């Protein structure tokens, strides 16, 4: 009965439907990850890795095989552990008559807030409505509860309407290592469903006109039971789900709530709990609430889906945004500290907390949907993760390095794996290093300025969950109170930037020349820590120079807003000399600006243009215009980009994709997409048919034969193979494509 769709007839955006996606509630640091064919996924809390549960979405009828989405691995029964007999390694599913759908039988449709698989007579959808919360402190409790409920709504539709016999569908998980329990037996709520302890679980409810019979299955013999359409509960088993019986001629739908819960103290260093524990006491609470509000979640998801569909973006870009948003959501964590919210974005597979050089990339998404999280993070950086340093000239062959007064900066992160570090220290940074794990003092200083200025000066208000008629594009509110409150910090940042420009008394060129004393015998690095010196070294670095220029421009706006004319002037003078320096580094022979203004460096880098995003998104079109005050630099950067976007330079010869540095095959998806936005929208490049071509390449990298990690950032530019920063939140830079700031 399965509608056959061949690979040829199907228009593939993206190239393959076999890829993992996070499916995550807002701020719960949890996920129901699913989507890679032949592999599991399932529930996970606070993890940087794809879970390895089996996920069962299947149906059968008398004398038919079980047809299932291919989201389970060969799994053996657990009963032999009790009976003292040897384990079988044969695939219990194949043996029991399970026939997974083949790729060509499946159509998957990933939208911004829904992920739908159709195969044969079933449809399975997971809804992940993007939450917009304009300002946490002013939201109504009901809205907060709806947004923070740590659960997802999913829907399984089984179409038995063309069948002359009864049939049954099944949703469940397995291979979870511990027994599940049956809900509704001991809790105050009589909720049908299964759970693992209090950590995660799923509840269900029939929501179609025809009401199917629903029965729990929890058994060592799940494959055989689903095959036979028989229910059974054995509380020692870890394979379980719900059997959905449809009569002949009926189409039935079951709505599922997939929930997560972690109570008690969530973090060390700072004692916090999950914010949602204010509203929910346990997993039963969570699931019951989500099911009670399932139509609201589905409706919201529909609104969000349509918003992206009507954006005018290509299907490929819509897909890239949808996929990236999910991995961002899977990393978000809203905690509660002394009654107040504390926002953390965890760093994908690394699980570092609020990594600042990622936060500046999440900025655009957060400003669009929940700008208060930016403020929340910036305030905690000031309170606890700022420091004052001294600065030093580069090493000159072993002699003691002279130190000068430095200034304020911020740590790389706030901790790792739910462990907040002590005041003034990150988990990442070490002293006496030249490369990876060294300090990012200048980079994070610039990042605080960029985030603070964008948050304070422009703040779009709630849109995506608003009634359709109310959506009126971007609204820039800003937060003037906060800008004023943080004036001392902005002042300290300007001072600190200037002190890193050149030693006291020496001529300034607007570009970082001194390393933080925290580096010891080493030197500062940038966020591009794993690339070669072209992007790795902070001092005299083109990428960081342009971003520093942007910070000066933004500081000009901040001080104007504050009515501090002399400080505005100081900032803009620095912006001018910085732009002048950058312009002067243009090498006519090379046809581009070398990546590092030192020692005959000849690397060509795309992120030269990255920093332009900040003046543009604050609305300063002049600053990024060839006819504006920094016109020469803009012109030089345009020429630079035009000349480096060539095969063998910053277009990979093998794949054709963008390559951030000409001298390294490690390229980063998030930054490519950010730079695409700058090139196309800020600098006005018209790449014509290259755009869909490049997008297709970059999208393919997220779902090719190596793509085992949902959104992956660090990729081998020759083939798209993830080589780091997997399962990663940073891809949401591509929200910029919406261009509605």
Q: Which residues bind its own copies (CB under 8 A)?
A: 79, 81-84, 178-179, 181, 185-186, 195, 197-198, 232, 234-236, 263-265, 268-270, 282, 349-352, 415-423, 425-428, 430, 436-437, 529-530, 666, 714, 723-724
Task: Using the minimum distance from each CB to its own copies, give the nearer residue, 49 or 165.
Answer: 49
String of b and e for 386-424 (b: at least 16 CB within 10 Å)?
A: bbebbbbbeeeeeeebeebebbbbbbbbbbbebebbeee
Of 9 and 83, nearer to its own copies (C-beta) is 83
CA distance 606 to 612: 12
Nearest to 559 by CA among 622, 488, 626, 609: 488
Q: How far is the CB of 261 from its own copies (least distance, A)?
A: 9
CB of 145 to its own copies, least distance (A): 20
Q: Which is nearer to its own copies, 183 or 511 (CB)?
A: 183
Q: How far is the CB of 415 from its own copies (least distance, A)?
A: 7
Q: Give the count of alpha carbons within 13 A of 408, CB side only.
A: 19
| Minimum CB distance to its own copies, residue 16 (Å) | 24
Nearer to its own copies by C-beta: 304 or 352? 352
Least distance in Å: CB of 549 to its own copies? 29
Taking the C-alpha atoms of residue 17 and residue 699, their distance in angstroms, rounded to an integer, is: 11
The length of the chain is: 741
CB of 547 to its own copies, least distance (A): 22
Helix axes 669-677, 690-701, angle to 10 degrees: 160
Structure tokens at 133: 């919360």
Residue closer to its own copies by CB (options 136, 728) is 728
- Least separation in angstroms between residue 717's CB and its own copies is 12
Q: In the complex with its own copies, which residue's Cβ is closer, 264 or 398?
A: 264
Helices (H), 114-165: 141-148
User: In the complex, what is the shortest distance from the CB of residue 85 to its own copies, in angstroms, rounded to a whole number?
Assistant: 8
Alpha-carbon gap, residue 122 to 169, rounded angstroms:
8
- Helices H, strands E: what count in the chain? 19, 28
Give, for 225, the enclosing helix (H) or strand (E).
helix 222-228
Does 321 sit behind a cis peptide bond, omega within 30 degrees of 0 on the bond before it?
no
Per DSSP bridges, beta strands 181-182 and 66-68 are unpaired
CA distance 360 to 209: 48
Q: Are 547 and 445 in contact (CB under 8 A)?
A: no
Minimum separation from the CB atom of position 282 to its own copies (A): 7
Is 265 or 405 the residue whose CB approaches its own copies more closely? 265
Shortest Cβ distance from residue 196 to its own copies (Å)? 8
Cβ of residue 666: shortest distance to its own copies, in angstroms? 6
Tell me the closest approach of the beta carbon of residue 77 to its own copies, in angstroms.
Answer: 13
CB atoms within 10 A of CB 450: 25
The distance of closest approach from Cβ of residue 268 to its own copies in the complex, given in angstroms and rounded to an integer, is: 5
- In terms of CB distance, is 418 or 548 closer to its own copies? 418
Task: Give 382's contacts (C-beta < 8 A, 6+ positions apart).
Answer: 486, 489
The Cα–Cα gap between 356 and 340 comes to 21
Identity of the residue, 60 or 282, whose beta carbon is nearer to its own copies in the bound complex: 282
Categorise residue 354: left if φ over 0, alpha if ψ from -120 to 50, beta otherwise: left
Helix ranges restricted to H, 63-209 = 80-83, 92-95, 141-148
92 vs 254 by CB, closer to its own copies: 92
Which residue number, 350 or 552, has a Cβ lying nearer to its own copies?
Answer: 350
Q: Smaller CB distance to its own copies: residue 92 or 633?
A: 92
Which has the closest alpha carbon to 20: 552, 499, 728, 625? 728
Smaller CB separation from its own copies, 315 or 724: 724
H or E element that contains 560: helix 542-561
- CA 468 centroid distance within chain: 26
Exposure string for 237-273, b = 16+ CB within 10 A, e = fewer: bbbbbbbbbbeeebbbbbbbbbbbbbeeebbeebebb
229/348 with CB nearer its own copies: 348
Nearest approach in angstroms of CB 265 to its own copies is 5
């Amino acid at each position: 009965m399965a509608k056959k769709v061949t690979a040829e007839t199907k228009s593939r955006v993206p190239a393959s439907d076999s890829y993992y996606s996070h499916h995550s509630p807002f701020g719960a640091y949890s996920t129901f990850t699913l989507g890679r064919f032949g592999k599991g996924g399932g529930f996970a809390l606070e993890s940087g890795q794809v879970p390895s549960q089996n996920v069962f979405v299947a149906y059968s009828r008398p004398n038919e095989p079980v047809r299932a989405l291919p989201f389970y691995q060969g799994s053996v029964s657990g009963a032999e552990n009790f009976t003292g007999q040897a384990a079988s390694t044969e695939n219990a599913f194949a043996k029991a008559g399970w026939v997974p759908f083949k790729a060509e039988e499946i159509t998957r449709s990933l939208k911004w807030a829904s992920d739908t698989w159709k195969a044969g007579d079933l449809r399975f959808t997971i809804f992940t409505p993007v939450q917009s919360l304009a300002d946490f402190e002013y939201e109504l409790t009901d809205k907060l509860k709806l947004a923070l409920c740590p659960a997802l709504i999913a829907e399984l539709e089984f179409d038995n309407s063309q069948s002359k016999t009864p049939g049954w569908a099944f949703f469940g998980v397995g291979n979870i290592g511990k027994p599940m329990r049956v809900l509704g037996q001991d809790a105050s709520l009589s909720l049908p469903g299964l759970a693992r302890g209090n950590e995660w679980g799923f509840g269900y409810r029939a929501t179609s006109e025809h009401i199917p019979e629903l029965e729990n299955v929890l058994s060592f013999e799940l494959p055989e039971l689903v095959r036979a359409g028989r229910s059974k509960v054995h509380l020692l088993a870890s394979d379980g789900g719900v059997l959905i019986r449809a009569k002949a001629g009926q189409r039935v739908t079951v709505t599922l709530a997939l929930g997560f819960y972690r109570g008690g103290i969530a973090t060390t260093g700072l004692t916090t709990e999950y914010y949602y524990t204010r509203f929910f006491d346990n997993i039963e609470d969570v699931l019951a609430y989500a099911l009670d509000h399932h139509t609201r979640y589905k409706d919201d998801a529909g609104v969000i889906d349509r918003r992206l569909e009507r954006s005018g973006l290509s299907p490929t870009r819509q897909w890239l945004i949808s996929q990236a948003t999910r991995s961002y959501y899977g990393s978000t964590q809203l905690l509660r500290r002394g009654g107040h919210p504390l926002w953390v974005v965890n760093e994908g597979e690394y699980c570092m907390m609020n990594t600042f050089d990622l936060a500046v990339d999440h900025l655009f998404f957060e400003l669009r949907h929940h700008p208060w999280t930016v403020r929340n993070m910036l305030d905690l950086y000031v309170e606890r993760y700022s420091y004052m340093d001294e600065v030093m000239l580069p090493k000159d062959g072993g002699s003691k390095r002279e130190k000068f007064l430095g200034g304020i900066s911020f740590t790389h992160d706030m901790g790792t794996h739910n462990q907040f570090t002590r005041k003034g220290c990150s988990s990442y940074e070490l002293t006496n290093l030249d490369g990876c794990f060294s300090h990012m003092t200048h980079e994070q200083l610039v990042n605080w300025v960029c985030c603070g200025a964008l948050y304070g000066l422009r703040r779009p208000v709630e849109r995506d969950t608003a009634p359709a008629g109310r959506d009126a594009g971007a609204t820039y509110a800003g937060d003037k109170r906060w800008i004023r409150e943080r004036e001392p910090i902005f002042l300290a940042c300007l001072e600190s930037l200037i002190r890193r420009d050149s030693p006291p008394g020496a001529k300034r060129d607007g570009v970082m020349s001194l390393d933080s004393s925290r580096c010891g015998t080493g030197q500062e690095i940038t966020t591009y820590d794993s690339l070669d010196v072209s992007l790795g070294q902070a001092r005299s670095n083109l990428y960081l120079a342009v971003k520093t220029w942007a910070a000066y421009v933004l500081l000009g706006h901040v001080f104007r807003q504050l009515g501090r004319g002399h400080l505005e002037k100081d900032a803009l003078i620095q912006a001018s000399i910085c732009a002048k320096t950058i312009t002067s580094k243009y090498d006519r022979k090379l046809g581009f600006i070398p990546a590092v203004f030192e020692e005959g460096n000849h690397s060509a880098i795309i992120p030269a243009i990255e920093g332009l995003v900040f003046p543009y998104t604050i609305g300063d079109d002049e600053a990024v215009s060839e006819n504006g005050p920094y016109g020469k630099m803009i012109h030089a950067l345009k020429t630079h980009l035009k000349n480096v976007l060539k095969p063998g330079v910053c277009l990979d010869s093998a794949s054709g994709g963008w390559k951030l540095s000409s001298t390294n095959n490690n390229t980063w998806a998030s930054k490519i997409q950010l730079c695409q936005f700058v090139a196309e929208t800020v600098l006005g490049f018209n790449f014509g048919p290259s755009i869909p071509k490049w997008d297709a390449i970059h999208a393919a990298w997220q779902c090719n034969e190596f793509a085992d990690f949902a959104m992956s950032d660090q990729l081998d530019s020759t083939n798209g193979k993830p080589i780091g920063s997997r399962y990663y939140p940073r891809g949401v830079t591509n929200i910029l494509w919406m261009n509605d700031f």
